[in-house]
């Protein structure tokens, strides 16, 4: 089946598959995306399939499904406390690109390389950056949502002073551990489909941990000071840091052992 799919123009497959899947999502009773979010998710899905094929698509779908699921953990409680995601967790365009812009840029870079415009040497690092960006975002989403739902004690990351759940820059043991597990899970998916090697799993998990904690620092120190620094913009920085950190870790390790 996969060989048959690969024999067809990947962009045509991407358009057809995403039209079917997002058409189903549009009529499903439980809305995971807003109407505008559906269109932007369609664009993202076509781009990912067109550049990375089914392997890249599996990673982004894993992120979307698991991320949407953890957002709904303890939803009633979080809504009562006023710390739940807006629209009951349904993703809009800002959420789609806040989470996936870095990954999309990595995929686009790989697409350009495969078209012959650049030398192929950076391809493996871009693949690592792609997986690491979603590993970072899933770690951040899971840590935040589990922490808000089940965090027994939450602390401001910059001062370690106790704060209420849902505070920008707050961290909890429960959320942090859940975030690490989530980053491992999606990194294993990336390895399982052949986008990264075993070392890549380690770089993704380490990078996700670094980026998720730096995102908490940004939330605690800068986000309230600048109106343009919305959650979606912070998410872009978060995934970008994760992708760059993984690439630097891999490049440094390769240099050391070379």
pLDDT value for 221: 92
3-class SS letters over the chain: CHHHHHCCCHHHHHHHHHHHHHHHHHHCCCCCECHHHHHHHHHHHHHHHHHHHHHHHHHHHHHHHHHHHHHCCCHHHHHHHCCCCHHHHCECHHHHHHHHHHHHHHHHHHHHHHCCCCCCCCHHHHHHHHHHHHHHHHHHHHHHHHHHHHCCCEEECCCCCECCCCCCCEEEHHHHHHHHHHHHHHHHHHHHCCCCCHHHHHHHHHHHHHHHHHHHHHHHHCCCCCCCCCHHHHHHHHHHHHHHHHHHHHHHHHHHHC
pLDDT value for 239: 96
pLDDT value for 139: 96
pLDDT value for 84: 55
Confidence of residue 68 (pLDDT cuts 50, 70, 90): confident
Q: What is the mean pLDDT of the chain?
A: 87
Confidence of residue 165 (pLDDT cuts 50, 70, 90): confident
Q: Which residues contact 146 (CB under 8 A, 6 or more apart)?
A: 70, 73, 174, 175, 178, 179
Confidence of residue 120 (pLDDT cuts 50, 70, 90): very low
pLDDT value for 5: 52
Task: Using a cut of 0.85, tell me whether the model's pTM lies above it.
Answer: yes
- 210-230 pLDDT tens trace: 999 999 999 889 988 888 889
96, 40 contact by CB (below 8 A): yes
pLDDT value for 33: 85
Lowest mean per-residue pLDDT among 35-44, 90-99, 247-256: 90-99
Alpha-carbon gap, residue 239 to 107, rounded angstroms = 14
Whether 24 has a pLDDT exceeding 80, the answer reads yes
Q: What is the mean pLDDT of residues 117-136?
A: 82
Q: Which of 64, 102, 114, 80 is nearest to 247 (CA)?
A: 102
38, 26 contact by CB (below 8 A): yes
Q: What is the mean pLDDT of residues 88-114?
A: 85
Whether 250 has a pLDDT exceeding 80, the answer reads yes
Q: What is the mean pLDDT of residues 14-36?
A: 87
Lowest mean per-residue pLDDT among 26-35, 97-106, 228-237: 26-35
Lowest mean per-residue pLDDT among 90-94, 146-150, 182-186: 90-94
Confidence of residue 129 (pLDDT cuts 50, 70, 90): very high
Confidence of residue 121 (pLDDT cuts 50, 70, 90): low
Whether 30 has a pLDDT exceeding 80, the answer reads no
Angle at 42 between CA 36 and CA 44, to 5 degrees: 105
């Amino acid at each position: 089946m996969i060989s048959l799919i690969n024999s067809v123009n990947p962009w045509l497959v991407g358009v057809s598959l995403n039209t079917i899947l997002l058409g189903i999502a549009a009529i499903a009773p439980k809305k995971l995306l807003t109407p505008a979010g559906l269109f932007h998710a369609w664009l993202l899905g076509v781009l990912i399939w067109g550049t990375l094929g089914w392997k890249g698509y599996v990673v982004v779908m894993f992120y979307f499904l698991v991320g949407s699921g953890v957002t709904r953990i303890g939803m009633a409680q979080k809504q009562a406390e006023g710390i739940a995601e807006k629209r009951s967790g349904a993703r809009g365009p800002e959420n789609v690109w806040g989470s996936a812009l870095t990954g999309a840029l990595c995929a686009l870079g790989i697409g350009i390389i495969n078209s012959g415009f650049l030398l192929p040497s950076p391809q493996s690092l871009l693949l690592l950056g792609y997986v690491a960006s979603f590993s970072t975002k899933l770690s951040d989403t899971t840590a935040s949502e589990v922490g808000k739902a089940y965090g027994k004690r939450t602390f401001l990351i910059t001062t370690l002073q106790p704060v209420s759940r849902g505070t920008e820059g707050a961290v909890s043991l429960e959320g942090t551990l859940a975030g690490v597990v989530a980053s491992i899970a999606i990194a294993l998916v990336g390895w399982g489909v052949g986008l990264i090697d075993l070392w890549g799993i380690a770089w993704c998990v380490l990078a996700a941990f670094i980026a998720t904690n730096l995102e908490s620092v940004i939330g605690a120190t800068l986000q309230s000071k600048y109106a343009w620094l919305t959650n979606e913009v912070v998410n872009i920085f978060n995934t970008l840091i994760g992708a760059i950190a993984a690439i630097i870790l891999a490049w440094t390790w390769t240099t050391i052992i070379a």
